Amino acid sequence: RCVTAGCLELGGGTRTRFSSSSSSSSSSSCRIRPHGVLTLDTMNPNIKRVEYAVRGPIVQRAMQLEKELQEGVKKPFTEVIKANIGDCHAMGQQPITFFRQVLALCSYPELLNDNKFPEDAKDRARRILQACGGGSIGAYSASQGIELVRQDVSRYIVRRDGGVPSNPDNIYLSTGASDAIATMLKLLVSGEGPTRTGVMISIPQYPLYSAALADLGAIQINYYLDESNNWSLAVGELRRALEAARKHCNPRALCVINPGNPTGQVQSRQCIEDVIRFAAEENLFLMADEVYQDNVYAEGCQFHSFKKVLFEMGPKYSEKVELASFHSTSKCYMGECGFRGGYMEVINLDPAVKAQLTKLVSVRLCPPVPGQALLDLVVNPPQPDEPSYSTFMNERTAVLAALAEKARMTEEILNKVPGIRCNPVQGAMYSFPQIQIPHKAIEEAKKGQAPDMFYCMTLLDEMGICVVPGSGFGQRDGTYHFRMTILPPTDKLKIFLAKVKEFHQRFTERYS
């Protein structure tokens, strides 16, 4: 509504007069607005450029199909198998018992008197609650996160990296890794026109990065992973992308996802060393997304943290390169996406900038405290002398072994389909196979869709299989892919892959 000079504008454009000694002379200053303050034309233009493929149109269509099936509408399939997003528990993965026991105790401390819970779970819950305001996970925490949890994260990093020091003051707990990544990008972006910050991201990439950069109005600098060499990262390609970008922006940061999403590769130690040298030479801030660090399956592959390699390269690099690395409770063997727990560790950050980072995270008060509690359990799990250790290790091992088997099976079955080529799924939770789309199908798609979107939407409508087109992640011109998770239960994944095989053969024949 608008109230000015004796005029009251109500919804729908209706105006009502009210008496005022000074209103008559200026009533003409009130105009009926045909639209509201916030419209597509007046909203933040950066938001309109944001795209997030893993929850995009194809997922909305999948949800519509599920609803129609529930209503009894006949389809060529009886269920929609969704493999569009790395949501482990939604795909049937069971929670780790110890984690849920401690979280239950933290949520309802009266259960501490219940003898059904093991003593180590009770001890862990008491320890966490004592670190919370008022002894409750319903209280705010410090903006940087509960100090006890940050200390435990720091000790975890030291163990993981073979003794490389870690300072709890450099640990920032976060609402999943995504929030921390977006926060760090927000700190990095500045300038206008040719001085605007450019950020190097891998192609294919996880759409969080392109979405965050669009939101910030930053410049996205694409560097391509080498599909012909198991999606490896080459410094020559980094240099090509950097030199091209310097003509129109100020490149300031380099993002690396290892193990890879959506590509499932695990970068070698030599590759990580090369990337660190490149960042040092070109004065780039390094961002290492390492949320899949426990998800390594292929023989001969090993996870190396960027921080560990950085410090083992000596002071020439460890005292110079600015690094932020990220981890999450949402992936690995935990799969606890909904709790939104994560952390960021910053290295060599200017103290004055660090103070600004602390101020920035304080605006959002604090990360979810249940997520912080869960993170503490991930970095401080049951030990060999504790009663929950055996069950914990059995569950952890079973989850990772099942994922390793499904990674192998996905590669093997897809590579038997003429017109599909699938690199080894070395790690993470995804495959990004290349698909050959016939020319006639490409022409058909040009009526309104990208060719791989047309392929994936047809796959969904005809087979009830939901995957995400490669164009949502980026791919080299002239190539087409889709991303799928390997998370469905083994029996359902076999059905999934068989349907993909059947569909691709039928689709190819139809448009040949």
The string of DSSP codes covering 31-74 is: ---SS-S--TTTS-HHHHT---GGGSHHHHHHHHHHHHHHTT--
pLDDT one-digit tens code per residue, 143-186 = 889 999 999 999 999 999 999 999 999 999 998 888 999 899 99
Residue 251 pairs in a beta bridge with 198
How many independent structural domains does the chain possess?
3
Residues 440 and 467 in one domain: yes
| Judgement on whether residues 340 and 413 belong to the same structural domain of the protein | no
Q: Could you tell me if 33 and 61 lie in one domain?
A: no
Contact predicate 309/272, CB 8 Å? yes
Picking from 314, 342, 364, the residue at the C-terminal end of a domain is 364
Indicate if 360 and 409 belong to the same structural domain. Answer: no
Q: Are 139 and 361 in contact (CB under 8 A)?
A: no
Same domain, yes or no: 88 and 219? no
Residues 481/452, Cβ–Cβ less than 8 Å: yes
Q: With 60 as the cut, is the pLDDT of residue 243 above it?
A: yes
Domain CATH number, residue 332: 3.40.640.10
Q: How far is Cα 224 from Cα 171, in angstroms, rounded to an integer?
A: 31
Mean of all residue pLDDT scores within the chain: 88
Alpha carbons 510 and 497: distance in angstroms, whole number: 20
Tell whether 106 is covered by a domain.
Answer: no
Q: 63 with 85, same domain?
A: yes
Pair (235, 359) in one structural domain: yes
Buried b (16+ CB within 10 A) or exposed e, 29-58: ebeeeeeeeeeeeeeeeeeeeeeebbebeb
d(Cα 103, Cα 83) in Å, to the nearest integer? Answer: 28
Question: Residue 124: pLDDT above 90?
Answer: yes
Q: Is residue 375 part of a domain?
A: no
- For residue 321, CA distances in Å to 177, 206, 282, 285, 313 come to 21, 24, 10, 7, 11
Host H or E run for residue 308? helix 306-312
Q: How much of the chain exceeds pLDDT 90, in percent?
A: 61
Q: Is 184 part of a structural domain of the chain?
A: yes
Question: What residue numbers bound the domain in which 284 lies?
Answer: 177-364
Both 37 and 60 in a single domain?
no
In a shared domain, residues 70 and 36: no
Query: Based on the domain organization, do 286 and 402 belong to the same domain?
Result: no
> Do 207 and 249 belong together in one domain?
yes
Q: What is the 3-state secondary structure (H, E, C) of 443-500?
A: HHHCCCCCHHHHHHHHHHHHHCEECEEHHHCCCCCCCCEEEEECCCCHHHHHHHHHHH
The distance from CA 102 to its chain's CA centroid, rounded to whole angstroms, is 26
Region of 478 on the Ramachandran plot (φ > 0 left; ψ -120 to 50 alpha; else beta): left
Which range has the worst mean pLDDT, 7-11, 178-182, 249-253, 288-292?
Answer: 7-11
Cα–Cα distance for residue pair 111/105, rounded to 1 Å = 6
Q: Is 203 left (phi over 0), alpha (psi -120 to 50) or beta?
A: beta
Of 364, 381, 408, which residue is a domain's last?
364
Which CATH number goes with the domain that contains 428? 3.90.1150.10
pTM of the predicted protein model = 0.84
The last residue of a domain, from among 346, 364, 382: 364
What pLDDT is attached to residue 311? 96
Residue 502 located in a structural domain: yes
Round to whole Å and give the CA distance between 484 and 467.
5
Residue 137 lies in a domain: no
Instruction: Say if residue 140's pLDDT is above 90.
Output: no
- 330 found inside a domain: yes
Does residue 146 lie in a domain region?
A: no
| Residue 312: inside a domain | yes
Q: In terms of domains, do 240 and 315 share one?
A: yes
Contact between 131 and 146 under an 8 Å Cβ cutoff? The reply is yes
Q: For the segment 343-387, what is each residue's pLDDT rounded down to a tens digit?
A: 999 999 999 989 989 988 888 888 889 999 999 999 999 999 999
